[in-house]
Amino acid sequence: MKNKIKKIFIIFISIIFSGCKGYYDITNYNIISGIYVDITKDNKIMVSCENIASVTSSEGNETTPKTTISTFLGDSIYHAFRKGALSSHGKKNFYPSIRVVILSKEYAERGIEEAVDFFIRDPKRRNNAYFIISDKKDYNLFNKKNTDIDITSDEIFGIIKQTKLSGYGVDTKLYEFIKEANSNSGVGILNVFALKPTTEAENISENKGGKDSSADLQILGTGVLYKYKLLGLLDINETLAVNIIRDKIHEGVYVLQDENPKNKITVKLRDPKVTLMPEVTDGNHVINVDIKSTSEIVEYSNEESLKTIDLIALENRISKELNRKILKTFDKAKKEFKVDIFNFGGAFERKYPQISKLTPEEWNKIFVDNLSINLNTKLTVTDTNSTSEKIQ
């Protein structure tokens, strides 16, 4: 097994550092796993890099990753990196290793074109990295995160990959985001991350100061960007609604709750099938949305036994509640963002090619002033309790 690992490591080094001749060539590189971009009060660009180094254990037989944070200031991102090279012991930056780019909220509100351009202009930089937004201004997730996981960028990467199982975020790489932002709506969506307490038990005196009271990385939802500028945020339920319409998830999680806090039904939506049918009649634009999904009850907490509940009535109730959430998000897009966050414009463009000639401003005006939605959701609910017994 050790020989296999050794061979893989040799191949990895050979591919990445092809042309290098020895140890000093390899150590000449600064391996960057992620960067954080912010803007200072005097309009300077601040770039913080999470750098990876290998550290050998005291026994000398095990190598583990160790990260350091380096921060540079400049008039642009490229300028900041160049200035940083003067204080990085002469090491060259290795950009292909970057998996995550964190943008401060203030930077995103001013526009992220510069960061996007920096990554797509040079083929050495990866256009399949993930761009995310930090939920607060001046909030560096690299420096303020307290966790046992060594590489913050790897943790963020892993969380993003799990979003397709909840629908609470988006698995969108940079090149996919650019494609979205260049659509006829001009809208792109990025994840919003924050540091939150790992457990509510942190207020218990026995836990204070311990690992259980540390801050943990979480997705708060997503940010809506129009022409590469952040307009506002969607919470996790609004993000789920948008993801369902955009057919971006494999599974979704939805909790149905009534006035009694003890009565909760958690449903998993499996591979929602969405059909968009646009119509234009006498200048009026209508989007007919048909949603079908096989759903499972994955958690049931209710005073009434599931055996006595009418599943058909439950299906109708969940379908209506999901419709309400989607329509509420649709209304928010019209009134607050005033842009098409669902990419309905793409559906109209496929049926009515002349719409492709419209500018984003023209299409979004139609979306706000002249687009109505007919929503039909049909969920088939099954119970996954193998015992069919109510927990007493």
Given a cut of 60, is residue 232 above it in pLDDT?
Answer: yes
Backbone conformation region of residue 364, classed left if phi is above 0, alpha if psi is from -120 to 50, else beta: alpha
pLDDT band at 96 (very low <50, low <70, confident <90, very high): confident
pLDDT tens digit sequence for 330-365:
999 999 999 999 999 999 999 999 999 999 999 999
Alpha helices in 182-339 (DSSP H): 236-245, 311-332
Shared-domain flag, residues 261 and 148: no
The three-class DSSP label of residue 31 is: strand
Letter for the amino acid at 223?
G
Shared-domain flag, residues 230 and 273: no
The per-residue pLDDT for 39 is 93
CB–CB of 88/24 below 8 Å? no
Given a cut of 90, is residue 37 above it in pLDDT?
Answer: yes
Largest interatomic CA distance in the chain: 78
pLDDT tens digit sequence for 42-67:
999 999 988 887 655 555 556 666 78
Average pLDDT of the segment spanning 220-243: 96
Shared-domain flag, residues 141 and 270: no
The three-class DSSP label of residue 155 is: helix
pLDDT band at 197 (very low <50, low <70, confident <90, very high): low
CA–CA distances in Å: residue 250 to residues 41, 273, 351, 385: 42, 10, 26, 22
- The domain tally of the chain equals 2
Within 8 A by CB and 6+ apart from 295, the residues are 267, 268, 269, 270, 318, 379, 380, 381, 382
CB–CB of 188/228 below 8 Å? yes
Average pLDDT of the segment spanning 80-99: 77
Stretch among 64-73, 212-221, 270-279, 294-303 having the lowest mean pLDDT: 212-221
The per-residue pLDDT for 171 is 95
Residue 254's CATH number: 3.30.300.210
Shared-domain flag, residues 282 and 311: yes
CA–CA distances in Å: residue 237 to residues 3, 136, 223, 241, 345: 48, 20, 13, 6, 23
Report if residue 160 sits inside a domain: yes
pLDDT band at 294 (very low <50, low <70, confident <90, very high): confident
Average pLDDT of the segment spanning 2-9: 47
pLDDT tens digit sequence for 148-169:
557 888 889 999 999 888 899 9
Give the pTM: 0.82
Structure letter (DSSP) for residue 141: H
The three-class DSSP label of residue 284 is: strand
Given a cut of 80, is residue 184 above it in pLDDT?
Answer: yes
Q: Which residue has the tokens 């997705």?
A: 219
Shared-domain flag, residues 177 and 44: yes
Shared-domain flag, residues 149 and 283: no
The per-residue pLDDT for 214 is 53
Shared-domain flag, residues 259 and 151: no
Shared-domain flag, residues 354 and 385: yes
Stretch among 51-55, 143-147, 223-227, 347-351 having the lowest mean pLDDT: 143-147
Given a cut of 90, is residue 146 above it in pLDDT?
Answer: no
Shared-domain flag, residues 380 and 274: yes
Letter for the amino acid at 163?
T
Stretch among 126-130, 187-191, 262-266 having the lowest mean pLDDT: 262-266
Report if residue 41 sits inside a domain: yes
Query: What rounded mean pLDDT belongs to the chain?
Result: 82
Shared-domain flag, residues 144 and 258: no
Distance linking the first and last C-alpha atoms of the chain: 50
> How far apart, in whole angstroms, are the C-alpha atoms of residue 145 and residue 334?
36
Shared-domain flag, residues 174 and 222: yes
Shared-domain flag, residues 253 and 377: yes
Report if residue 226 sits inside a domain: yes
In the chain, count of helices (H) and strands (E)?
12, 13
pLDDT band at 18 (very low <50, low <70, confident <90, very high): low
Select the more confidently predicted residue: 85 or 145.
Answer: 85
CB burial of 145-167 (b: ≥16 within 10 Å; e: otherwise) equals: beeeeebbbbbbbebbeebbebb
pLDDT band at 5 (very low <50, low <70, confident <90, very high): very low
Q: Which of 112, 64, 96, 384 is nearest to 229 (CA)?
A: 112
Stretch among 2-6, 67-71, 145-149, 204-208 having the lowest mean pLDDT: 204-208
Given a cut of 50, is residue 231 above it in pLDDT?
Answer: yes
Angle, nearest 10°, between helix axes 360-370 and 344-351?
A: 100
CA 331 to chain centroid: 22
Report if residue 89 sits inside a domain: yes
Domain enclosing residue 179, as ranges: 28-198+213-234
Given a cut of 70, is residue 40 above it in pLDDT?
Answer: yes
Average pLDDT of the segment spanning 262-269: 84
